[in-house]
Amino acid sequence: MNILVTGGAGFIGSNFIKYMLQHYDYKIINLDSLTYAGNLKNLQDIMDNQHFHFVKGDICNRHLLDELFIQYNVDIVVNFAAESHVDRSIDDPEIFLKTNVLGTQALLAASKNHWKADSLNKHCKTFKQGVKFIQISTDEVYGTLGKEGYFTEETNLAPNSPYSASKAAADLMVRAYSETYGLPINITRCSNNYGPYQFPEKLIPLMITRALEEKKLPVYGDGKQIRDWLHVYDHCRAIDAVLHNGKPGEVYNIGGNNEMENIELVKRILHLLGKSESLVHFVIDRLGHDRRYAIDSNKIATELGWSPIYTFEEGIKQTIDWYIQNKSWLINEKDLNTSKATTSF
C-alpha cells in the first residue's frame, strides 16, 4: 500500500508517519512545504527508512500532485496539511483559505483524477479501484459548547474563527467529492492534541518552555476555557483504525476524555516542573474565543473498537520529560513572536 501523507513534517503528521512505519510495511510519501510549523528535524530518525520518501512541495501545486500520484501509484491520501493557529488566522485569514480550502480541493481533484472507473462516465459511482481520502479535521468546526453536552458527528458546523471556518469549508468540500463523485472519503475531527514535536506556539509546549526559563506564562482571559486533551499517539491509533476500517463517507470524532480548564492545565504543568504559580500572567482574551470543546467518541469506539490508552496524568508527564530531554529542539524551533504566543485554544 502506498500512502501520501501531506503535512507530515508537522506535529501530528510526523508522529503519524512514525507510527505507521513502526506498525506496517507500507510506502509513505510525505509532501510538505516546510512552512514555519514544518520541520525535517521531526523526521530525522526515519529519513533513511526505505519505506519513507520526502517531497518538498505545496499541496496547491496540481502538476506536482499529478506527478506524485502517477510515480507512486497512491492508494490513500491522509491530509494533515493545514495552517492551524487561530491567532495567526485572525491576523491574516487569506493564507488559511489558500492552504486549507484550495489545497484540500487540489488534493481531492488529484485523487479523483487517478481513479480507474468501470466506465468512462465521469458520474459513475462504481469503481474497480479508488484512492481513499482521509481528511484530518478538528472539533473547532463545531463552534463552542455550553457547560453541558458534547460534539457528535451530527452536530451542526458553526465555526467561530477564520481558522475553523477554513477547516469547515474544507470538510464540506471533502463531503461534496464523496456525494458528487463517489470518492471514498473519511473525515476525522479530533480534540486538542499534545505530545512530542509540537510547535512551541501551542499551549502545552509554550507553557513548558517558558516555565523552564522562569518566564511569565501568558493565559487568555480568565483561563477558564475548557478543552479536551488527546495524546497524539492515541490520535494516530484512531487514524489507523479509520484508514483500515472506516466506512466510506463517514465522519469520526476522536476525543481523549480529558476535559479541563486551561488554567488548571497550566497549573498542573507548573506543579510537575516544581515552578511557582506566580509565573501565570493573564492577558486580554482572544477575539471570538470559544469557551468549551468536548468530544463524544462513541461512534469510533463502537464501530471501530478504538479508545484512548493514555491517561492524561501519564501523557503529560511523558510529554514534559520529552521537552526537557530535547531542549535544543525547543530552542531551534522558537522562532515565533512570543507576544502572540499565548494559550491558543
Output DSSP code: residue 101. Answer: I
Catalytic residue among 32, 58, 142, 163: 163
Task: Give strand ranges (E) for the chain.
Answer: 2-6, 27-32, 52-56, 76-79, 116-117, 127-129, 132-138, 185-190, 192-194, 217-220, 226-231, 251-254, 259-261, 280-283
Task: Report the DSSP beta bridge partners of residue 135.
Answer: 79, 187
177 is catalytic: no
Output DSSP code: residue 285. Answer: P
Catalytic residue among 32, 87, 139, 234: 139
72 is catalytic: no
Catalytic residue among 32, 87, 140, 228: 140
Task: Report the DSSP beta bridge partners of residue 129.
Answer: 116
Distances (CA, A) of 10 to 15, 113, 172, 190, 193: 8, 27, 24, 16, 12
Output DSSP code: residue 141. Answer: G
139 is catalytic: yes
- Are the beta carbons of 256 and 306 closer than 8 angstroms? no
What value, to the nearest 5°, has the Cα angle with vertex 41 and ends 35 and 47?
110
Provide the grid cell at 200. 512551541
Residue 228 φ/ψ, nearest 5 degrees: -100, 130
Active site amino acids: 139-140, 163
